[in-house]
């Protein structure tokens, strides 16, 4: 076209290109829930008004549904539809209902905001989604709060029957950014069988004493990127799980985490593979466990990198899973009917930890840990809480809890362990439950080991 000297022809071509582009672009619809009759007073239910706004926006080709600042929009389950992004303005919040009738009949669909089988959906705006988790506490207890359980109808059994906060199920092109997710009654942010997910600048808060308020659960989903998140919860903070399919391509960077459980945990639902994960530039503060894998159901883990991570882990009440391990990599069959999964090609690089317990690397006979590499790892061990130590924790299932003196690194059923530039520093003070025992191996189960520039000192 550069050689075409006819200005009129060039003009015609440009006009054609421009008009064909604009005929493809549909201008996004912006609707306000206020125009659909939402009161936003935090008392009257706005469920129908908001759902009408979402449906209208989606059927006109998609766009944004605006929640104006200043409003508290009390609602039952909202079904997010293809093409729609909820824009909750700063100072506005969606408030989840606290009655069972606010949610659908099937417990698997109990969410405050739920996208099912949707494409191009999201949440943003600087505002908040709040599940009123505090209203689901039956009794505050110092060790762990006792929660409501909606198990009367029989659709959900046991003590974990409460609504989650936000869910994307069977969805594609999900984007959640610049929003606060507060006080879920149960899991906070749940991705299920979804693909192409971007999460950034999201802040998550759940009561430190309430169980099951997981931060982000990434289940059976591929291609997820999470960055600049701030997660402060009682239960696990970032938790990939595989129940009906694998989890592939997960990247988490620039996050801050505090939890009374595991900051990062693969499993324990682990029926399919976990592949190609990167956790980079993460700060883990005062948590019960740092980087964890609880593989129990036959899925295999491979190609995971943990880099540039600062960790502090401490004991809490043993009612909460975790034993203050900065790194906890385990694979064993959950019970006699389960299969073992292998964990291979795992790299830990540039990790600094201060912790009350050692690193735990435990495979099993059928579930080897293969090719683990440690590079530039700085471990400091000291005790600052009064909880007793001296237990190996294989929960859930397997050998449960086993009395054992603590070691700086405990290792069993490993083939390929390559350690380079790793320091262990031991506090001279109170190390109750410990012997200053840098390394513990289960005899004849650890093979292909290399230690270079490895140091252990009392300070």
Ligand X SMILES: *[C@@H]1O[C@H](CO)[C@@H](O)[C@H](O)[C@H]1NC(C)=O
Is residue 352 at the binding interface for ligand X, with CB under 6 A as the rule? yes
- Measured from the CB atom, the residue of 113 and 343 that comes closer to ligand X is 343
Contact between 87 and 154 under an 8 Å Cβ cutoff? The reply is no
Residue from 141, 159, 335, 435 touching ligand X (CB under 6 A): that is 159
- Measured from the CB atom, the residue of 165 and 250 that comes closer to ligand X is 250
Is residue 32 at the binding interface for ligand X, with CB under 6 A as the rule? no
Is residue 299 at the binding interface for ligand X, with CB under 6 A as the rule? yes
Q: Where are the beta strands (DSSP E) in 314-413?
A: 325-331, 343-355, 359-362, 369-381, 391-393, 401-403, 409-412
Residue from 29, 32, 47, 149 touching ligand X (CB under 6 A): that is 149
> Which H/E stretch holds residue 13?
helix 7-24
- Measured from the CB atom, the residue of 352 and 437 that comes closer to ligand X is 352
Parallel, antiparallel or unpaired: strands 146-147 and 301-313: unpaired
> Which residue's Cβ lies closest to ligand X?
126
Is residue 317 at the binding interface for ligand X, with CB under 6 A as the rule? no
Rounded to a whole number of angstroms, the minimum distance from the CB of residue 4 to ligand X is 32
Is residue 290 at the binding interface for ligand X, with CB under 6 A as the rule? no
Could you tell me the two tokens for 11?
Answer: 């003009």
- Measured from the CB atom, the residue of 52 and 178 that comes closer to ligand X is 178
Q: Which of 29-37, 191-199, 205-213, 408-416 is the region at the interface with ligand X (rule: CB under 6 A)?
A: 191-199
Could you tell me the two tokens for 377?
Answer: 């790892």
Rounded to a whole number of angstroms, the minimum distance from the CB of residue 99 to ligand X is 17
* CA distance readout (Å), 44 to 1, 49, 95: 63, 11, 11
Distance CA 271, CA 20 (A): 48
Note every long-range contact of 179-182, with CB atoms under 8 Å and residues 24 or more positions apart, other chains counting.
179/88, 179/123, 179/124, 179/125, 179/126, 179/127, 179/128, 179/129, 179/203, 180/127, 180/128, 180/129, 180/204, 180/205, 181/128, 181/129, 181/205, 182/93, 182/128, 182/129, 182/130, 182/131, 182/206
Structure-token match 């600052």, residue found: 384
* Burial status of residue 155 (CB atoms within 10 A of its CB: 0-12, 13-18, 19 or more): middle
87-126: contacts with ligand X (CB under 6 A):
90, 117, 125-126
Is residue 229 at the binding interface for ligand X, with CB under 6 A as the rule? no
Structure-token match 């899991």, residue found: 187
Q: Which of 47-55, 97-105, 260-268, 346-354 is the region at the interface with ligand X (rule: CB under 6 A)?
A: 346-354
Q: Which of 32-40, 244-252, 326-334, 428-436 is the region at the interface with ligand X (rule: CB under 6 A)?
A: 244-252
Is residue 403 at the binding interface for ligand X, with CB under 6 A as the rule? yes
Residues that bind ligand X (CB under 6 A): 90, 117, 125-126, 149, 151, 157-159, 173, 178, 193-196, 201, 220-223, 245-246, 248-249, 272-273, 276, 281, 283, 298-300, 307-308, 310, 341-342, 349-350, 352, 354, 376, 378, 380, 401, 403
């Amino acid at each position: 076209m550069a050689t075409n000297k006819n200005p009129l022809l060039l003009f015609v071509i440009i006009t054609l290109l421009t008009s064909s582009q604009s005929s493809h672009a549909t201008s996004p619809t912006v609707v306000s829930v206020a125009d659909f009759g939402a009161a936003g007073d935090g008392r009257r239910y706005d469920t129908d008004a908001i759902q009408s706004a979402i449906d209208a926006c989606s059927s006109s080709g998609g766009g944004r549904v605006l929640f104006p600042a200043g409003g508290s929009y009390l609602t039952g389950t909202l079904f997010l539809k293809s093409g729609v992004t909820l824009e909750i303005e700063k100072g506005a919040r969606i408030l989840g209902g606290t009655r069972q009738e606010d949610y659908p009949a099937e417990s698997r669909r109990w969410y405050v905001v739920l996208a099912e089988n949707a494409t191009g959906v999201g949440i943003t705006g600087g505002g908040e989604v709040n599940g009123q988790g505090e209203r689901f506490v039956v009794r505050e207890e110092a060790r762990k709060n006792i929660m409501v359980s909606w198990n009367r109808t029989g659709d959900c059994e046991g003590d974990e029957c409460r609504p989650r906060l936000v869910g994307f199920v069977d969805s594609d092109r999900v984007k959640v950014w610049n929003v606060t997710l507060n006080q879920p009654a149960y899991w906070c942010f749940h991705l299920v069988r979804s693909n192409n997910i971007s999460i950034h600048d999201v802040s998550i808060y759940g009561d430190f004493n309430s169980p099951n308020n997981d931060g982000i659960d990434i289940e059976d989903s591929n291609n997820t990127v999470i960055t600049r998140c701030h997660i402060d919860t009682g239960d696990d903070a970032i938790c990939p799980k595989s129940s009906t399919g694998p989890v592939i391509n997960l990247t988490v960077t620039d996050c801050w985490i505090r939890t009374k459980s595991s900051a990062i945990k693969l499993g324990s639902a682990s029926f399919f593979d976990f592949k190609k994960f990167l956790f980079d530039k993460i700060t883990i503060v005062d948590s019960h466990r740092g980087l964890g894998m609880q593989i129990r159901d036959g899925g295999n883990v491979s190609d995971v990198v943990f880099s540039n991570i600062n960790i502090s882990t401490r004991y809490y009440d043993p009612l909460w899973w975790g034993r203050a391990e900065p790194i906890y990599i385990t694979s064993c069959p959950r019970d006699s009917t389960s299969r073992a999964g292998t964990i291979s090609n795992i790299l830990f690089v540039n990790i600094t930890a201060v912790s009350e317990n050692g690193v735990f690397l435990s495979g099993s006979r059928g579930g080897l840990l293969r090719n683990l590499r440690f590079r530039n790892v700085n471990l400091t061990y000291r005790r600052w809480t009064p909880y007793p130590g001296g237990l190996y924790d294989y929960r859930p299932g397997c050998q449960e809890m086993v009395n054992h003196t603590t070691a700086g690194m405990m290792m069993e059923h490993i083939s390929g362990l390559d350690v380079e530039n790793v320091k262990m520093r031991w506090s001279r003070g109170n190390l109750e439950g410990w012997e200053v025992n840098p390394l513990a191996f289960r005899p004849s189960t650890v093979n292909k080991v290399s230690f270079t520039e490895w140091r252990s000192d009392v300070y």
